[in-house]
Amino acid sequence: MTTQPDFRLFVDKEIMPHSDQFDREERIPPELIKTLFDKGYIAGFISPEYGGAGMDMTTYGLLCEQIGRGNASLLSLFTVHGMVSYVLLKWGTKEQNTRWLPRLASGEIISAFGLTEPNIGTDARHIETEARATEKGYILNGKKKWTSFGQIADLFLILALCEGKPAAFFVPRETEGFSIKPMSGLLGFRSAQLAELQFENCLIPKGNLVGRIGFGFSHIAGTALDHGRFCIGWGCTGLAQACLDASLKYSSERKQFGSFLKEHQLIQRFIADMVVRVKAARLLCQRAAELQESGDPELIMETSIAKYFASTAAMQSALDAVQIHGANGCCDQYPVQRYLRDAKIMEIIEGSSQIQQIIISRYAHQFELI
């Protein structure tokens, strides 16, 4: 089994030196994506039965932490590709798993998840994309937005309403009537290659329905989002670690008033708070990983706790890192400006911080924790 030091060394060598360039070019090089698949990293939890690495969730979480430390945009590929793969493992038919999982594990195809729409974000139960049942399959019409790696994905997991009930469908890129519009100029996640998706009378085969009609949100989207939050929580821990690492380096090299920044007490406070946030976030993510392995019913709440805390920790750590760097933290010669932009996105995707607070409160009452 690949170990955390291996993940760290790979990120240090192959990702971190190039992340600012990826950000400027608004893309991840295909050769890097291929390497990540060849190493069995992306969707590394897929079982060897389907050609995957068979990582346990703790190992996979530690991998996501290191990817998040290196490049948050790249982490979103792990997130969306993992969401689709995880849904297949839990809800896919034998035929669907045999058809797609080996190709998802090898990187022959890349997958993406389409839930958010131009008019619908958090209120996902009222999506406007519709699917109409016919003898030949389902006719899909609608739009999706903010789809990470939608520009290059080959297979899309799409949520729609069918007969007024939520349903999920696999939509191949080559489907007639399906079009993709690249998005650019984002605040953060600039190299995540986001896209808008449009479906105009797309015929979806019956075999591409995931689960049953009516299960689209509660089961399919719920499973996908839980896994996405798991990946994001770990990735935010890595992003907070990157902020800490950059601040330690800068404060050890920069002098003000005749002393290194690290010798100033207010800087020491910034550093101490970052250390505490990183360690606390990592422990919460490890707890979520343990519950993922055991299937404990509290895993949904614990995963939301990890995502909520880790994303806010990453955001505050990025703010502090920029403050420590001063004016240098506001230019593209230092990565902390990218960390700040990416951290803000982390507080929004896969359920905003406010949604996580609602989930945590509801489950806390359910399990009588308060």
Range of the domain at 129: 112-211
Instruction: Identify the pLDDT of residue 161.
Output: 96
Q: How far apart are the first and last CA of the chain?
A: 40
Same domain, yes or no: 83 and 27? yes
Same domain, yes or no: 299 and 278? yes
Contacts of residue 182, defined as CB under 8 A and 6 or more positions apart, other chains included, come to: 151, 193, 194, 195
Instruction: Identify the pLDDT of residue 1.
Output: 45
Same domain, yes or no: 93 and 191? no
Same domain, yes or no: 171 and 254? no
3-state secondary structure of 28: coil
Nearest CA among 179, 173, 166 for reference residue 209: 166
Contacts of residue 266, defined as CB under 8 A and 6 or more positions apart, other chains included, come to: none
Q: Rounded to an integer, what distance in angstroms lies between the CA atom of residue 33 and that of residue 114?
A: 21
Q: Nearest-5° angle of CA 128, CA 131, CA 133?
A: 155
Q: Rounded to an integer, what distance in angstroms lies between the CA atom of residue 212 and that of residue 203?
A: 18
Q: What are phi and psi of 136, to 5 degrees?
A: -90, -15
Domain final residue, candidates 72, 87, 109: 109
Instruction: Identify the pLDDT of residue 3.
Output: 58
What are the residues facing 204 on neighbouring strands?
138
CATH number at residue 122: 2.40.110.10
Domain final residue, candidates 156, 182, 211: 211
Instruction: Identify the pLDDT of residue 368.
Output: 64
Written as one string, the DSSP assignment of 217-281 is IIIIIHHHHHHHHHHHHHHHHHHHHHHHHHHHHHHHH-EETTEEGGGSHHHHHHHHHHHHHHHHH
Nearest CA among 115, 171, 166 for reference residue 145: 115
Q: What is the mean pLDDT of each run of 10 residues along the chain (370 residues)?
A: 77 97 97 97 95 96 98 98 96 96 97 94 85 96 97 98 95 98 96 98 97 89 94 98 98 93 95 98 97 87 97 98 97 96 96 92 75
**Residues designated as active site:** 350
Same domain, yes or no: 55 and 85? yes
Residue in this structure with the two tokens 């899909």, named with its chain if needed: 140
Instruction: Identify the pLDDT of residue 369.
Output: 57
Q: Rounded to an integer, what distance in angstroms lies between the CA atom of residue 330 and that of residue 313?
A: 20
Nearest CA among 262, 325, 282, 298 for reference residue 69: 282
Same domain, yes or no: 221 and 361? yes
Q: Rounded to an integer, what distance in angstroms lies between the CA atom of residue 77 and that of residue 13?
A: 19
Domain final residue, candidates 194, 211, 228: 211
Same domain, yes or no: 129 and 174? yes
Same domain, yes or no: 74 and 118? no
Q: How many independent structural domains does the chain possess?
A: 3
Same domain, yes or no: 130 and 260? no
Same domain, yes or no: 60 and 145? no
3-state secondary structure of 170: strand
Burial 277-296 (b: 16+ CB within 10 A, else e): bbeebbebbbbbbbbbeeee
Same domain, yes or no: 334 and 259? yes
Residue 42: how many other CB atoms lie within 10 Å: 27
Same domain, yes or no: 302 and 337? yes
Region at 296 (left for phi over 0; alpha for psi -120 to 50; beta for the rest): beta
Residue 2: how many other CB atoms lie within 10 Å: 16
CATH number at residue 48: 1.10.540.10
